[in-house]
Chains A and B, each alone.
Chain A
Amino acid sequence: MNAPVSTASPADPTVEAAPGAPLTVRIRRDGGFQAFTVARRPAQTILDVVTEIQRAQDPTLAYRFACRVGMCGSCAMMVNGRPRWTCRTRVAAVAEDDGLTLEPLRNLPVVKDLAVDMAPFFEKWTAAHGAFEPGAAPPADFAAVAPDSPERRAVDAGIECINCGVCYAACDVVTWNPDYLGPAALNRAWTLVNDVRDRGQEGRLAAVSGDAGCQSCHTHMSCTEHCPKALAPTFAIAGLKRATARSALKRLGARHFRRPA
């Protein structure tokens, strides 16, 4: 699924500027902002702007991109304060007073200029048991998973995540509690909780519980609001809250109300 391109009205004169009109771009660098001016062009994306600045004005500008078409999730940045894929965001849709403010993704350490270190993001993905666990012995037969089963539908709802980090940058809880696993890792865990073939559920539910886990989510829905793939990590996290609560109550019941053999 591709992210929807913003549908800002072309009738608005402030949106579709004339080709060649100047665009002021403020880029956060070295603790401050550096201003550049580039020409507006038809169908120009934020990534086009950054690339033009790096190639024509300042080759030392650091940023990250790969596919340029919304497949890889490498080029996310803060654009006028909101996390976005820069390759799929048109200048005309987001420029304010013929200006742009570009910053590195929030909640992640900056490597240089607009490039952030994604290591903490992926470490949390691992900490949330984000990898499929097949169990000690291979199953005797293939698992039959009906496409319309509730579990498969829940997996489908979150499986298209490409780990761009936009939800992580949008999340206030990550800002307040740097240990918080974040929406992407919890969304991934939820897809695996609903994978009937997975044999690591107990460990996964324990990993996504606690002060760094799903219970810390405030349901602000910033992740769901900003996800370029239109996924809903908030609902995945709500599912994890239910699953971990059920599991904890079952354990409590087994501990205190187990019938003697």
Chain B
Amino acid sequence: MSPLLYVAQRGTAVILAVAVAVHLGTILYAVRGGLTAGEILGRTQGNRAFLLFYGVFVVAAAIHAPIGLRGILREWTRWRGRSLDGAMLAVSALLLVLGLRAALAVYVA
């Protein structure tokens, strides 16, 4: 892992530590409060703070996860080189597209 990947992984870990805690807290609040799907969507629709929060969350996860996955694959398999790096870029792109699509869908729903 290059020093820049290392910095990127540690930096996004800091963001994710906060984002995951807020995300889980929100889920608990929504479920325990007895909110319906419609009520939840009513609160998220058009809420720019919600979109910004989940946008940052998704970008951080899309950077963080493939770097860690690359390290695990290098240690546990013989996969090395450009094909591995290319595959991890694809994983990052997939997480980014799926995550942002979901956040946007709830924002505009």
Contacts and interface: CB of A to CB of B under 8 A. Distances in A.
Contacts of A6: none
A173 B76 CA distance: 11
Given A210-B1, A216-B1, A176 B6 contact: no
Interface residues of B, number: 11
B4 interface: yes
Interface string B1-30: 111111100000000000000000000000
Contact of B75 (A176, A209, A249, A252): A176
Nearest to B10: A245
A210 to B, nearest CB: 6
Given A176-B76, A211-B1, A245 B7 contact: yes
Interface in A153-209: 173, 176-177, 209
B82 to A, nearest CB: 13
B71 A216 contact: yes
A109 to B, nearest CB: 20
B74 interface: yes
A182 to B, nearest CB: 15
B3 A247 contact: yes
A248 interface: yes
Given A216-B71, A245-B7, A248-B7, A210 B76 contact: no
Interface of A: 173, 176-177, 209-211, 215-216, 241, 244-245, 247-249, 252
